[in-house]
Structures are given as C-alpha cells and as structure tokens.
Amino acid sequence: MATDQAAAESKGKAKKGMSRSTLLIIVLLAVIVAGGIYFFLGRGDSSSAGAEKEEVHLGVVVTLEPIFINLKDDRFLKLGMALQTTHEGGGGGHGGHGGGGPDIDGAMALDAAIEVFSDQDMQMLSTNNGRSELKEELVARVVEGYGPEITTIYFTEFVMQ
C-alpha cells in the first residue's frame, strides 16, 4: 500500500508540474503576442501621427547664379546657392517654360549671403563648423525675408581663393 500511495503522489506531482509548465508556456506566448501587437500597431500609429505634425511639403528648388564675395586679406569666395521652396511645379524662377512654378526673386538671398560672408576669415570658412555656423545664419536671414515659402538653402558652389 505504501507503494500505491507513493505512486499516486508522484502522479499528482507530475500532473501539477505538467500544468504549471503548460501554464508558463501559455503565459509566455501571450506576452510575446501582446508585445508583437503593440510593436506593430502601437508604433505605426505614433509614427504616422508624428509624420502628420512635422509634414513639410518640399517643392521646387530654385537655383541662383553664383556670386563672388570679398573675404579678408584680398581673398574671395565664389558662392552658388539653391533655395528649397514649398511650391510645387516647374519653372524654377528662371522664366521657365511650364508656368505654375514659384516666382522667387533671388536678390534678397544673394544680398543676405553677401552680408553674412563678406570680410570673413578664410580659416573660418575652411572648417565644417565655420561654414555650418554661417550657413545657419544665412538660412535664418533668408527664411525671415521670404517667409515660410523657403525652407532651406543648399550650397551648389563654394570655392575660396
């Protein structure tokens, strides 16, 4: 009888052990599935909401003719720029054939470039930090002058001599 009782106890423990491990597997699977659903659905909602808030429609890039700017010590800078607009369509501001494009006069941007870069030291313009700092100042002046229709400036030529 003692052996029958011991066998019954071991069967009971085996059933309890089996049910605990099965329960543990089910809980782990549920956590993994819930994490997957959160990752795919929750993350997609937040990224699309963020995209709607920060959405800026980039339009035509208006390329301006290069200009020469006097630097310190009888040096000069040949600077070519392009303005990123929010306007869609062609034309580019150069009397394009398609019409419907932005009619942006680049004189204000060129004037701002002359003000920012005139009499600068060539050593400052030779470093990435120096160029970036002056470009930020130029972008701020151009955006202030043109308003929200210009989003940024690209340098198409930057030659120092």
What's the whole-model pTM score? 0.58
Question: Which tokens go with 104?
Answer: 């942006």
Q: How many CA atoms lie within 13 A of 25 on its CB side?
A: 6
Helix or strand holding residue 48 (H, E): helix 43-54
Sign (positive or negative) of CA dihedral 19, 22, 28, 31: negative
E strand or H helix at 9, and its extent?
A: helix 2-37
Reply yes or no on whether the pLDDT at 118 is more than 60.
yes
Q: What is the greatest pairwise CA distance in the chain?
A: 112
* The pLDDT value given to residue 160: 92
Tokens read off for 71: 């630097």
Query: Would you list the domain boundaries of the chain?
Result: 1-55, 61-160
In terms of Cβ atoms closer than 10 Å to its own Cβ (0-12, 13-18, 19+), residue 149 is middle
pLDDT at 86: 87
3-58 pLDDT, tens digit per residue, is 556 555 555 555 555 688 888 888 888 888 888 787 777 765 555 555 454 566 78
3-class secondary structure, 39: helix
Q: How remote is the C-alpha of 53 from its chain's centroid? A: 13
CATH number at 61-160: 3.30.479
**What mean pLDDT is reported for the chain?**
79
Q: Assign 139 a pLDDT band (cuts: 50, 70, 90).
A: very high
| Cα distance between residue 122 and residue 131, in whole Å | 10
Secondary structure class of 126 (helix, strand, coil):
coil
pLDDT for the residue numbered 23: 83
